[in-house]
Structure 1
Amino acid sequence: MNMTIMLFLMQDGITNGAVYALLGLALVLVFAVTRVILIPQGEFVTYGALTYASLSSGQMPGTARLALVMGVAAFAFDLYAARRALHWPVIARAFAVNIVLPGLVLALTVWAAGHHPPVALCIALSLIIVASIGIFLYRIAFQPLAHTSVLVLLIASVGCHLALQGLGLLFFGAEGQRGPVIADAAVMAGPLRFTGQSIAVYGVATAFIVGLWLFFGLTLYGKALRATAVNRLGARLVGIRTTLSGQIAFLLASLIGALSGILIVPITTLYYDTGFLIGLKGFIAAIIGGLVSYPLTAVAALVVGIVEAFSSFYASNYKEVIVFMLLIPVLLLRSLAAPAVEEEKD
């Protein structure tokens, strides 16, 4: 290996690591606020990417219909929860958010699919559709289980992953798709060539990391999320709506996942189940960060991306094995450092 090849591998690893960093941060955020290990994070990647690719090619994505169906189910859940005290302003707001808004998005999507809209509109529609699915997923699957154990939430998360993956096959088929690039420009730096798409990946990842830092440090909702992550019961006692905190966490996670998919679908062909493997690599970074540390998760994601790039060069058949083996020493060190806990006796 010479210096030029090493630089190419480092560039590829940093590009992939930037995407893994976004997904890892989303996983840490959701787990800290809701205690949910968000396995469907990969489906948000797939839905965002393939919705964008479908709209760009003039096809109608099934995710827009899914968002409306999930909105109707969420509205039914809200009606059942408020059955003892029906306040019409609350019901009207729930109807507008859960049914009217997804209906308008579906109508706009149907129009856009037949008129080959510009790239910016395709991106905006894809983000809105996947964000709606993320919020409704929390309302339907996780909000009723908010006070259960982490194991129950994990089982629900696995079920949501399987359901969304099957729906992805139904909506997009087994064939892979690619989307149009966001920018055609390219910049040369010595032997390295930075395309507009890779620059967009770096820029969006950096902007999201800085934006999340500012959001948590300066905004009221960000501080509410931090309080919910530290002590859910204490946050409720001081008047913080933990349900709203969970909705915001899932909204951010779905937006991050969809945007990650939109960034990588012009670079590589994505299938209905590709997002699961991408999400797992973000999960590795989140585990290395202990599911609590945002900076450590971002650094770990870059390490995962670089290890993957060098593994694909030296042992391409075993690159996935090598990447997932990064978990073994981390889990071993954490188990040795953790205090011993005696099992409860019956």
Structure 2
Amino acid sequence: MDLQIALMLAQDGVVNGAVYGLMALALVLVFSVTRVIFIPQGEFVAYAALAMAALQAGKLPPIIWLLLALAVLTLAVEGWRQLRGARVAWKPTLVWAVLLPLVALGLVAGLKPTSQVGQTLAVLALIVPMGPLLYRLAFRPLARATVLILLIVSVALHLVMVGLGLFFFGAEGSRTAPMSEARWDLGGIPVSGQSLVVIGSAVVLVVVMFLFFERSIIGKALRATAINQVGARLMGIPTELSGDLSFALAALIGAVCGILIAPITTIYYDTGFLIGLKGFVAAIVGGLHSYPLALLGALLVGQLESFSSFWASAFKEVLVFTLIIPVLWWRSLNTHHVEDEE
């Protein structure tokens, strides 16, 4: 390996690490607020990429029917809860289950956008409401359950969503048109415009999330819920709404990742699982609570994957996932163990 090859591999590692970093941020956010290890995070990536490909092919993205079905089920569940005497916050419910699905339906079926910007907005409108709707249907009824039970539900939901992805999109892979077709040669190293778009978008999204959590009232409320749910509830913060927002942000991040990587690699209905799993490895490096460490872990995962594909391509996935073993061993030695929160 010479310097030129090493720099090319490092560039690929940075691009992959940017995507894994966004996935890790989403996983850390969801776990911090709701204690859910959200395994189906990768399905948002696959759904967004395949929906984008369908729009560019002039077809109606079939997951619009999944979104509408989730919305109807959510309305039915909330109505049943109110009949049983539970207090239902109808304003956010109508936003997630009525307003946003109707906006998505109008964009993809009514306007049928042909520009890349319009198609991107349509895909975001399709994917983002799925996060809070899935949270309300699968996880909010089990809010007081243990982390293990929530993990089991998360795995089951992942299997369901993979099956639905196969049903809606089929087994064929898809790739979308690049957002930038520019190419440069820097010292013999080819640099594509799409790679810069991926890195730049990831940096912008990380900065926006940092400002959101540091400066906005909603972001501070999410941080308070992540630190202490009971204390946040006593201070008047609606923790159930915090769960909605965390899942909506996770869906947004997954959709952005899918749109960004679809021009780079062929996406299949089950591609998102490996992407989400590598993001989970990065999140584990951060202990599922530290955003900066999760980003550093994502860059490490990206570089390890890139260089492993050169030295031992048949074992690159093994080497990436083996990284989790020394991290867990180190954390087990340096973390004070406490009983699970009651």
Question: Shorter-chain-normalised TM-score: which range?
Answer: over 0.9
Distance across 1 between alignment mates of 2:143 and 2:154: 12
Distance across 2 between alignment mates of 1:147 and 1:274: 32
SS in 1 for 2:185: strand
- Which of 138, 142, 145 is 1:141 aligned to? 138
Verify the 8 A CA contact 1:79 1:91 in the aligned structure 2. no
> Given residue 2 of structure 2, which amino acid in structure 1 is its aligned partner?
N
Question: For this pair of structures, how many residues does the alignment match?
Answer: 340
> Given residue 42 of structure 1, which amino acid in structure 2 is its aligned partner?
G
Verify the 8 A CA contact 1:32 1:292 in the aligned structure 2. yes
Distance across 2 between alignment mates of 1:176 and 1:165: 14
SS in 2 for 1:323: helix
Partner of 2:159: 162
- Which of 182, 186, 189 is 2:183 aligned to? 186
> Given residue 109 of structure 2, which amino acid in structure 1 is its aligned partner?
V
Verify the 8 A CA contact 2:100 2:125 in the aligned structure 1. no
Distance across 2 between alignment mates of 1:153 and 1:319: 30
Verify the 8 A CA contact 2:175 2:267 in the aligned structure 1. yes
- Which of 319, 322, 325 is 2:322 aligned to? 325
Partner of 1:103: 102
Q: Does 1:29 align with 2:29?
A: yes
Q: How far off its partner does 1:103 sit?
A: 3.1
Partner of 1:19: 19
Q: Does 1:150 align with 2:147?
A: yes
- Structure 1 pair 19–85 and aligned structure 2 pair: CA distance change class (3 A): same
Partner of 2:220: 223
Q: Does 1:315 align with 2:316?
A: no
Distance across 2 between alignment mates of 1:41 and 1:170: 18
Partner of 2:249: 252
SS in 2 for 1:154: helix
- Which of 274, 279, 282 is 1:277 aligned to? 274
For structure 1, the residue ranges without an aligned partner over 5 or more in a row are none
TM-score scaled by length of structure 2: 0.95
Distance across 1 between alignment mates of 2:96 and 2:110: 21
- Structure 1 pair 311–108 and aligned structure 2 pair: CA distance change class (3 A): same
> Given residue 98 of structure 2, which amino acid in structure 1 is its aligned partner?
I
Q: How far off its partner does 1:96 sit?
A: 5.6
Q: How far off its partner does 1:331 sit?
A: 0.9
Q: How far off its partner does 1:339 sit?
A: 3.8
Distance across 2 between alignment mates of 1:213 and 1:92: 27
Percentage identity across aligned positions?
Answer: 51
> Given residue 49 of structure 1, which amino acid in structure 2 is its aligned partner?
A
Distance across 2 between alignment mates of 1:10 and 1:33: 34
Q: How far off its partner does 1:95 sit?
A: 4.2
For structure 2, the residue ranges without an aligned partner over 5 or more in a row are none
Q: Does 1:128 align with 2:117?
A: no
Verify the 8 A CA contact 1:71 1:136 in the aligned structure 2. yes
TM-score scaled by length of structure 1: 0.94
Q: How far off its partner does 1:268 sit?
A: 0.5
Distance across 1 between alignment mates of 2:193 and 2:337: 51
Verify the 8 A CA contact 1:55 1:112 in the aligned structure 2. no
Q: Does 1:305 align with 2:295?
A: no
Hey, which bits of structure 1, 4+ residues long, moved more than 4 A?
Answer: 84-88, 90-93, 340-343
Verify the 8 A CA contact 1:36 1:153 in the aligned structure 2. yes
Taking the TM superposition and a 5 Å limit, the aligned residue runs for 1:34-113 are 34-83=34-83, 91=90, 94-95=93-94, 97-112=96-111
- Cα shift readout 1:247-276 (whole Å, capped 9, x = no counterpart): 110011001011101100100001000100
Q: How far off its partner does 1:310 sit?
A: 0.5
Worse overlay, 183-192 or 201-210? 183-192
- Which of 205, 220, 238 is 2:235 aligned to? 238
Distance across 1 between alignment mates of 2:34 and 2:263: 33
> Given residue 249 of structure 2, which amino acid in structure 1 is its aligned partner?
L
Q: How far off its partner does 1:208 sit?
A: 1.1
SS in 1 for 2:320: helix
- Structure 1 pair 101–334 and aligned structure 2 pair: CA distance change class (3 A): closer
Distance across 1 between alignment mates of 2:244 and 2:230: 17
Q: CA RMSD in A?
A: 2.0
SS in 2 for 1:82: helix
